[in-house]
């Protein structure tokens, strides 16, 4: 364990700069994610309309993922990453100042474009700053650790900001603050992050153009398709509750916003610890044993959360759930990416976003319908069922390829 911790401090300077600036992204996402659904409900939208809005946003991310991954070769991942952060900022500001459904969809389009730009470039850019495969695995988990810790901080701040939900003003202040944080984050990353090693845009423009025009000739391998379908199933399972955590906690426990934000902030601390422990578990127990164990733990926890229980027990299981979900996502993502050749990674990054978006959009839409009926228990049971299917898929088809 001590060798592992020392290895974290010896990561390259580009990785350390990336991780330091990740804190601002976490704060912005924490502010945005806590209040957005509540803001939409306070503006008169129904739960099923919110679910449809979330689904459209996820589908947009899926449509754009592969084109963005191809454009990264031409314009550079760093430029697209910074542009994505500014798109998210613009979407937050529009959400804050509008009350019309059409403009809510426009705001969601802006946020979805931004999230696509970020999610299809940040891991590849982070890996570009690493000097070894071990650095990649550790940096990947540490990125999620920093993100989740500061997401908790942003969530806590959002819960204590004054809102005008009763007067119809919604959660404008929190959304505007999130927009400001994203603008600062984009500017800081633009100046502070080093250039990509080996990047030479001027000398490689013609090659990049050929890659854009001839992408149809580079069909994904059967391994890529299998990994993508597996991630669609896993992403769909986690989106059932993940897209509506604040709504579920608020109305299942009948809590005020500050209590909801406090619980989600504590969950962020649990996610931070889980992200730090992910590579240690892989090195200590082996990849296969760690993934199967975390799958089983998550299934048991989600089944338990389906049943009515005392508030203190729900809170405890809810916090463990967050850590388990984070550990499962990190284990699966790192192992699938490491199993691919370097030449396949950019395409897989796009396919991963596309298929996750498809799975997440479908389940988020149906989760919104369930919540519209004031059923705040069933989403947990459905998540457990899909995770069970994911475990079967992993053991039957994915594990043989990884080994």
Closest CA to 88 of 115, 70, 62: 115
- 11, 138 in Cβ contact below 8 A? yes
The answer to whether position 193 is within a domain reads yes
The answer to whether position 6 is within a domain reads no
The answer to whether position 2 is within a domain reads no
Instruction: Label residue 7 by pLDDT band (50, 70, 90).
Output: low
The answer to whether position 106 is within a domain reads yes
CATH value at residue 261? 1.20.1250.20
Using a pLDDT cut of 70, give the percent of the chain over it. Answer: 90
Per-residue confidence (pLDDT) for residue 140, from 0 to 100: 83
**Residues sharing a CB contact under 8 Å with residue 101, sequence separation 6 or more, in sequence order:** 45, 49
What does R_g of the chain's alpha carbons equal in angstroms? Answer: 20
Is the pLDDT at 210 greater than 70? The verdict is no
The answer to whether position 4 is within a domain reads no
Per-residue confidence (pLDDT) for residue 187, from 0 to 100: 97
The answer to whether position 377 is within a domain reads yes
Range of the domain at 67: 12-402
The answer to whether position 7 is within a domain reads no
Most confident among 7-11, 81-85, 239-243, 320-324 (mean pLDDT) = 81-85
The answer to whether position 327 is within a domain reads yes
- 347, 217 in Cβ contact below 8 A? no
Question: Structural domain tally of the chain?
Answer: 1
Q: What is the pTM of this model?
A: 0.74
CA distance 95 to 105: 9
Per-residue confidence (pLDDT) for residue 3, from 0 to 100: 54
């Amino acid at each position: 364990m001590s060798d592992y911790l020392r290895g974290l401090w010896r990561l390259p300077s580009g990785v350390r700069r990336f991780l330091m600036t990740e804190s601002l992204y976490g704060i912005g996402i924490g502010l945005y994610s806590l209040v957005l659904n509540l803001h939409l409900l306070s503006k008169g939208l129904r739960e099923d309309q919110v679910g449809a809005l979330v689904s459209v946003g996820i589908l947009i991310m899926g449509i754009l993922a592969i084109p963005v991954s191809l454009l990264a070769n031409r314009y550079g991942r760093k430029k697209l990453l910074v542009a994505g952060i500014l798109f998210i900022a613009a979407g937050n500001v529009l959400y804050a100042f509008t009350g019309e459904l059409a403009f809510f969809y426009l705001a969601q389009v802006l946020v979805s474009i931004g999230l696509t730009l970020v999610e299809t470039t940040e891991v590849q850019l982070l890996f570009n700053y690493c000097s070894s495969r071990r650095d990649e695995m550790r940096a990947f988990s540490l990125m999620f650790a920093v993100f989740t810790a500061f997401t908790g901080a942003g969530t806590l701040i959002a819960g204590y900001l004054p809102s005008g939900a009763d007067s119809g003003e919604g959660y404008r202040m929190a959304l505007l603050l999130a927009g400001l944080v994203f603008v600062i984050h984009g500017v800081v990353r633009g100046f502070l992050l080093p250039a990509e090693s080996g990047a030479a845009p001027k000398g490689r423009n013609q090659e990049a153009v050929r890659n854009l025009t001839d992408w149809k000739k580079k069909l994904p391998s059967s391994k890529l398709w299998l990994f993508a379908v597996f991630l669609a199933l896993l992403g769909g399972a986690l989106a059932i509750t993940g897209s509506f955590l604040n709504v579920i906690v608020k109305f299942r426990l009948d809590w005020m916003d500050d209590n909801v934000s406090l619980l989600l902030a504590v969950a962020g601390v649990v996610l931070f610890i889980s992200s730090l422990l992910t590579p240690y578990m892989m090195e200590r127990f082996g990849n296969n044993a760690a993934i199967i164990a975390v799958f089983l733990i998550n299934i048991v926890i989600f089944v338990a959360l389906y049943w009515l229980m005392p508030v203190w027990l729900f809170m405890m299981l809810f916090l463990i759930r967050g850590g388990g979900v984070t550990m499962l996502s990190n284990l699966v993502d790192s192992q699938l990416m490491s199993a691919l050749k370097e030449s396949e990674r950019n395409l897989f990054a796009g396919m991963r976003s596309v298929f996750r978006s498809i799975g997440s959009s479908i389940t988020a839409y149906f989760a919104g319908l369930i919540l519209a009926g004031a059923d705040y228990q069933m989403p947990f049971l459905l998540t457990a069922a899909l995770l069970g299917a994911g475990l079967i898929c992993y053991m039957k088809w994915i594990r043989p390829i990884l080994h």
